[in-house]
Structure 1
Amino acid sequence: MPAWPLRLWVDGWLVGVGTERGTGTERAAQTSQSGQYHSNGRPAAFPKARRLARAPQQDTDRGCGRGGARGTRAGARSGPPGRGGECRNARHPPQPRPEHPAPTRLRRRSCRASVMAAARQPQVGELLAEARRAFREEFGAEPELAVSAPGRVNLIGEHTDYNRGLVLPMALELVTVLVGSPRADGLVSLLTTSEDADEPRRLQFPLPTAQRSLEPGTPRWANYVKGVIQHYPAAPLPGFSAVVVSSVPLGGGLSSSAALEVATYTFLQQLCPAGRELVSKEGFRRARHVVGEIRRTAQAAAALSRGDYRAFGRLMVESHHSLRDDYEVSCPELDQLVEAALSAPGVYGSRMTGGGFGGCTVTLLEASTASQAMQHIQAQYSGTATFYLSQAADGAKVLHV
């Protein structure tokens, strides 16, 4: 018997109603407008849909074996339309007309359905409390570190991430919490409280060495932790004990494995910060300016091409602040000139230009306000400023003599 899918909105919920093959049972699968479904058709992170109504069953004990109504399936296929599949052979007594039409003759009609509310998901604080309790019971002490990582739903952009495309994911309130503490014996001891995880739910293994790598095995959930440990850039890692608690449904398409990997990496960052001993705070600020200035330059070019001078001016100011605070190549005189320019009428933006430690500032302003702006800047500046007015000009070229 074919299924009869039907979709309808009930009180803001999307309800999918269908008839199962071989039965007359109608079920509802409900989800929020942005929900995802498991491969079995049920919505991820929601309880199994309950039965809404039982489709009417025809009498299967009586009927004609020669084209008459021989139960639900035969009766639905035989007989003239509009008569419920009755047999026209006079030798066979007429069968009572079914109270309801067979499923194959279902017509669209108004219907009402009750929808179960989504199951309440535990909050991060509740998961953390559960993880701490499990850690105390398993290891006899309080954990020293705690991290969390969310599940995610990809709103659009599927199978594009590894093809250098764009994705638009959204972090969910479903999270994985990992708590733990370092240990001195070079071992990793793990425990998960997830009932859906494969067995065993606790295991212990040694850290990888130059001669021995971590190999995947059982349980499968621990392989994600092993992979992060194996490729973590900081070495050597200390051993640790950890407990994993999660509200992200396993196998539901909400990145439960990725949440575990990210939580593990975040935990290892707290356990053994990668690279911080090699990069000082000063070096970090220098790198931050370079990365930010590259991004700002691309954004400024786009703003200039569309004639958005206000956006271009804001980026100029951000650039100066970065040169002043992160790269530290400005000086009080340049800072004073920039501040004076930004308070002048008609100015979009201003920044230091050149190598720094003195030199020039560049200011973008309305041409009609140039004279007024120069007077304002000179009045605000404690020294004597020299001004150069210029529009964009051509580059290098050959001159004819």
Structure 2
Amino acid sequence: MHSSPLPADAARVLARHREHFGRGAEALCRAPGRVNLLGGHIDYSEGLVLPGAIDRALWGCAHRLEGAAGRVEVLAADLERHGSFALDDLAPPVPQRPVQRADWLDYFRGPATIYWRCAARRAADFGVAITVAGDLPIGIGVSSSAALSVAQLLLLDALDIAANEPTSRLEWARFAQRSENEYLGVQCGLMDPYACLHGSEGGVVLLDCRSETHHEVPFPSDLALLLVDTGVRRRLAGSGFNSRRDECVAAAQALRTLWPELRTLRDVPAEELERAMACVDPPLGQRIRHVVSECERVRRGARALAEGDLETFGAAMRASHASSRDDYEVSIPELDLLADAANEHPGCVGARVSGAGFGGAILAVVHAAQADRVGRCVARRFEQHFARTPRIEQVRIGPGASCQRLV
């Protein structure tokens, strides 16, 4: 997976693992974050999305614990936290809990349970010690939680000497999605783990969330990505994220009186949009309009990006933010100011809310030569209005997840 010497974060996670557990790791994994250029909140309506893996990642390493079947010991090195749990005393899935757990170890309990229940399909016959660390920003819409799920699943598989036939990357993405749905209470779609697993250094992923297939769209090497953080934190399970999904389900159910074969809002004909909106009460009409128009923006934007038409691509990003703000209502004033400031700068191709919204960051696609200028301009505008300095991370499109045995 790597040539010598190891990347600094890989060497660091291996060193911390040995220091904490007193022995070396047997497997090493890299799981990147992702950005979503277009297609906000439509993966769970089986829409089209345009994400890409980035060059920031979570690194994980692990070794087997013999004679400790079902025990998981965890070191989150960057958080300076450690803990452990056993598979036989795991919390049930979120819908079965009287009160939802708010515990950092849930981010490890979910993938471990999903691995043994769904991937291995047998009782746990070994334990595992896991260390994670990296340079992936948390809470700014680059799907650090999906990266963590993917890393843990791949590490468990690498250590499972009794594993049967190889698991496909699509199956790993589905397992990671189930982990977030069932054990973190976030009703996300397939996009985040899929992008983490299928990313490519040379392009972004045009993913059809219904067929669960994709093709790569080249991403120009002279463009960079800026993540500008509002500093407003949100936890998706406690935000409006799940209610937006519920609204889409309710709207689709109402529209089946018009179109009995309709599966999701993706299936609403664009030419029938006004008729569809008239059949439901607010805010469901706005949710329908966002999904239908966002699917079209993804098609148009991906085609423009492939053809090098950055003007059309940037316009699609700007319209996506406006729709996320006005029709899907997942933006906040801090995000709107950052997006407006970036979009007004000539060095910016386009900017929109990053990730699920409700806080976090914006994503700005910028000409790499002007990235610093765009960042300084946006930061000044934000400081003038909110009297604090936003954190800015510059990232690039990078390769997808990988894992290897070390011994």
TM-score (norm 1): 0.35
Bigger radius of gyration among the two: 1
Give the TM-score normalised by structure 2.
Answer: 0.34
Greater RCO between the two (CA within 8 Å, min separation 6)? Answer: 2
